Structure 1
């Protein structure tokens, strides 16, 4: 049987950037002429060229738009982009179902990046995704979200070929060809039964819970689990929940739920109001704790909102300032933890909440800067009251979250829950 050759999807607005996309296509094929390049036109206007595989009117049709060409062209730019996003997503999904592609790449300014990144966010994690973009040097978190999109800064605008842009596109073409081949090889090996049979466990971690999480990780690995650690910086929590939705995890130790504190107080590491729901909705075995709910995260000290500048603050690094949560905030956080679990758990017998009574972070133990027994007690009480009658077990331990005994106990219990779930 001849060796399998990957297919690469190239998505963009060809009515404004045809020349640049044709150059990208040529460079991909120069790297490996046996590859198949599927050029998809998600632009506003119809463009004709022999190299275009899926034309603009096909993408528009896939969106389900019912109006004619004149109605489409008369739409405001924002509405038009939304329609093309919908059509491009459906087009790539159909390609995946029908033929399969091994990588996707796009070029764009803000509009083109919005379209192709929306398509990429719908694709599985670890599937190769690369965008050459004019906006890649700014805050791109809303383009990438919780996915593994790679963004390459174009340096100059994608508006006509020149020596500099050609060099950037050359690099991008080489990168996507390499990524596609690596993905094809990896997935081919997986189909040949070389994929790990270990069950996956997701754990959330922060600097102030690292000691405890590291001990848990080592013990779970000794039990034969594959452990994935997620940095609880907003995107980390969302990434873990994304893997739950993709069915790639068998259990969750949500030891560090600090992202809820940032959501509440306007910190920089919020994961949004769907945080703490995915595993509950999936019925996965999970143990939830309250790691680092003693703090809210901001950027450099001068970026802390004025209303908080008299609060207890610590300059964690030159770029991160943390603020101690108050008794009232801790009570509200406890209510939110309980509410989200109670409202979303389809199998409450497989969800437990563990409370470390002697400290929820390395800074919250007696003698440390954020030690506040009253605020912690407000957090614990709100959780216990909120989960009363829910069927979700609350386990209180007379230790702190980084204690070796805590780590050993929580690892053993999660392992048992996963075994019970089968």
Structure 2
């Protein structure tokens, strides 16, 4: 492949979408005649066309399936789709690891989108990914998860070619060509100066002041700080960057996603939260920002069982419910357990507790101030980490205090230097 050329993987169910994929291929080549289009057949039945680069049989083989073609066709739909997903992941990952692709694109309904997105989610963050889909105007969280997949609504179903669908596909072709060119240029450029050390940080509106102070201090020390909004996907994305080796340290100051996981709020990050950075073995300081709250949508959507609780309408789209003393005990248990069970370098992990308030509305005089609940949270964390190599630091300030934040940032820098032998 010539240095100036780009290669784009196009993955989909070609048994039902071949016409649309051939049109996509033609439009990619119209926008960039030197491009290479690797057409991957992930359909239920094989499609025999000269433009296909990776056949359905090769996808199935890559999945490890050993049953033969006739047995494959008799599989229940769910098992067949899983086989195609496993094979697609293996094929796409191999292409990426060999440096043979600069972007990936897919077209599909719910089934095709499931296959394409599963393969795309295994690629690193910031690698170009685009799906034109009939489901892109709805809840796409199950397809995108914590990744940077770009979703484009197809407007009409991906069936035939018409005056609505063809311009959409043309837009997608132009977009993926542009993304691929940008990526190719980015990976081929040689940095003119040493790369800054990256630090991840989690933030919420009610912890912004404290996180900003820590971020500012670290930036003054030459770090580059990536701030993640703790809305479920944000926490997972930060941990994924850590596992991809792209972070030198983490300030996990806002762990509110655990409260949503426990109580049933809208910003849960799932049961893996707090495990990714720990397993990566990089320095991290974890705090309890916004564990005083569970997040829900507009006030009228608040589940009935929460009526009578301490409720705060943050804005027209967000309603908060104060965590109880019992819930805070369990949250403290989960923080301690997940860190203790997953930290491969516990000496590089610390938990900092702001004794005067875990958010802007949990300090004295504010709506969510609850000394008993906070004490239950802190006590559970200290008990759960007692005897471990994970240090617990108690500070007589609230989480938005600038001195607390700068002290936390300074300590994280020390841990990073400790790991690097400075």
* TM-score of Structure 1 vs Structure 2, range by shorter chain: over 0.9
Measure the CA separation in 2 of the matches of 1:218 and 1:67. Answer: 58
Measure the CA separation in 2 of the matches of 1:405 and 1:66. Answer: 61
Change beyond 3 A, Cα 1:79–1:195: farther
Deviates more, 1:120-129 or 1:316-325: 316-325
Q: What RMSD over aligned residues (CA atoms) do the two structures have, in Å?
A: 1.2
**Aligned twin of 1:310:** 308
Measure the CA separation in 2 of the matches of 1:327 and 1:98. Answer: 52
1:98 shift after superposition: 3.5
1:347 shift after superposition: 1.6
**Aligned twin of 2:230:** 232
Unaligned runs of 5+ in 2: none
**Aligned twin of 2:245:** 247
**Aligned twin of 1:349:** 347
1:393 shift after superposition: 1.0
Residue 293 of structure 1 aligns to a residue in which SS? coil
Measure the CA separation in 1 of the matches of 2:281 and 2:55. Answer: 42
**Aligned twin of 1:70:** 70
- Residues 209-242 of structure 1, C-alpha deviation per residue, up to 9 Å, x if partnerless? 0000001101000010110001000000000010
**Aligned twin of 2:336:** 338
**Aligned twin of 1:50:** 50
Measure the CA separation in 2 of the matches of 1:99 and 1:314. Answer: 50
- Residues 101-148 of structure 1, C-alpha deviation per residue, up to 9 Å, x if partnerless? 000000000000000000000000000000000000110101001100
Residue 273 of structure 1 aligns to a residue in which SS? coil
Measure the CA separation in 1 of the matches of 2:276 and 2:345. Answer: 12
- Residues 296-319 of structure 1, C-alpha deviation per residue, up to 9 Å, x if partnerless? 001111221111121111111211
1:169 shift after superposition: 0.4
Change beyond 3 A, Cα 1:363–1:144: same
Measure the CA separation in 2 of the matches of 1:339 and 1:68. Answer: 45
**Aligned twin of 1:276:** 274
**Aligned twin of 1:136:** 136
1:375 shift after superposition: 0.6
- Residues 378-406 of structure 1, C-alpha deviation per residue, up to 9 Å, x if partnerless? 11111111111012111111100001111
**Aligned twin of 2:383:** 385
- Residues 312-333 of structure 1, C-alpha deviation per residue, up to 9 Å, x if partnerless? 1111121111100011111111
Measure the CA separation in 1 of the matches of 2:84 and 2:11. Answer: 11
Map 1:16-415; keep pairs closer than 5 Å.
Answer: 16-189=16-189, 192-194=190-192, 196-415=194-413
Measure the CA separation in 2 of the matches of 1:289 and 1:160. Answer: 53
Unaligned runs of 5+ in 1: none
- Residues 63-106 of structure 1, C-alpha deviation per residue, up to 9 Å, x if partnerless? 11111211111111111111001111111122223352000000
Residue 131 of structure 2 aligns to a residue in which SS? strand
Moved over 6 A (4+): none
Measure the CA separation in 1 of the matches of 2:144 and 2:83. Answer: 20
TM value normalised by structure 1:
0.98
Change beyond 3 A, Cα 1:167–1:263: same
Count residues in correspondence.
420
Change beyond 3 A, Cα 1:420–1:9: same
**Aligned twin of 1:10:** 10
TM value normalised by structure 2:
0.98
1:44 shift after superposition: 0.8
Measure the CA separation in 2 of the matches of 1:230 and 1:98. Answer: 30
Change beyond 3 A, Cα 1:241–1:294: same
Change beyond 3 A, Cα 1:306–1:256: same
Measure the CA separation in 1 of the matches of 2:3 and 2:285. Answer: 45
Measure the CA separation in 2 of the matches of 1:104 and 1:195. Answer: 30
